[in-house]
Structure 1
Amino acid sequence: MNMFKRLLFPSRPDGTAASAILLIVRIVFGLLLMNHGIEKWSNYQELSAVFPDPLGIGSPLSLGLAIFGELACSMAFIIGFLYRLAMIPMIFTMMVAFFVIHGNDPFAAKELAFIYLVVFVLMYIIGPGKFAVDHWIGKAFSQKAGR
């Protein structure tokens, strides 16, 4: 009973249960977005000629940046390495997808980009939790500074 109370009503948002939930969210949403990046990477040759170019930098470079945001940054997001820095391209990619690429589409067509955007902005704000590489690096730096 006490475990359920702590899970449903955590007294500390940085506790183990909250960090475990953050880890699960990082894994789930990171893998989901990574699948989009893998799909783009696998079809790079075909997509590079027709991929949208919302920034005016060319389709191949726009595709490369989308792959970076969806694949490389998702990996860093999952393990919590350079967490907030890695999330900037992810958030930017979802903003472009939602507001520019699907800007005039009905909401149903851009709903997935919106869900990713909301989750990533909230995760950016709350941080990775204590089950993240950044947390362990921060602890190591704190211990060295304390010597």
Structure 2
Amino acid sequence: MNAILKKAMSSGVSSTYISVALLILRVVGGAFMLTHGLGKFEALFSGEPIQFRDPIGVGATASLALAVFAEVLCAILLIIGLGTRLAAIPLAITMLVAAFIVHANDGFGRQELPLLYAAIYISIALIGAGKYSLDNWLSKK
């Protein structure tokens, strides 16, 4: 168990409550992101010309593929708690790109949601999946 969880538990917070909170963050943060990613997944394989922004200069198709990787595959991994810390990193990066590059000129109203998602994913990357996850189950085998 990492130092953050140990400190929280030493202050009287039950590890069960922390793990339930992490489960909620993982499932909600992953499921909500998955709803954004599924539309992009369909667009990637629709056979129609790719109409997607290229915020980091790798091309529209590569940008869309990277977004689909994060918003679909990493979101699913986050939900089930498998490779959780690693899966949270592309999600956080995707949301930071959305906030600071894609919506750079749109004002805080358009940046707020991606920044909220990024904060969730960064927190999960730092703390881990909790005991209600495949990561935890696999580590006990």
TM over 0.5: yes
| Cα shift at 1:111 | 1.2
The runs of 4+ residues in structure 1 deviating greater than 6 Å are none
Contact 2:67 2:94 in 1 (8 A): yes
TM-score by length of 1: 0.81
After superposition, the Cα gap between the structure-2 partners of 1:19 and 1:103, relative to the gap in structure 1 and judged at 3 Å, is: same
Q: Deviations over 1:70-99 (max 9, x none)?
A: 010000001110111111111110111011
1:120 is aligned with what amino acid?
Answer: Y
- Partners of 1:49 and 1:59 within 8 A in 2: yes
Three-state SS of the structure 1 residue aligned to 2:22 is: helix
Counterparts of 1:66-105 in structure 2, within 5 Å, are: 66-105=67-106
Unaligned runs of at least 5 residues, structure 1:
1-8, 141-147
Letter of the 2:33 counterpart: L
CA RMSD of aligned residues (A): 2.1
Does structure 2 conserve the Cα–Cα contact (< 8 Å) formed by 1:26 and 1:78?
yes
Calculate percent identity across the aligned residue pairs: 39
1:40 aligns with 2:40: yes
TM norm structure 2: 0.84
Highest RCO, 1 vs 2 (Cα 8 Å, sep ≥ 6): 2
Give the conservation status (yes or no) of the 8 Å contact 1:10–1:18.
no
Deviations 1:117-145 (CA, angstroms, capped at 9, x unpaired): 111111211211001111111112xxxxx
Q: How do 1:11-30 and structure 2 match up within 5 A?
A: 13=13, 15-30=15-30
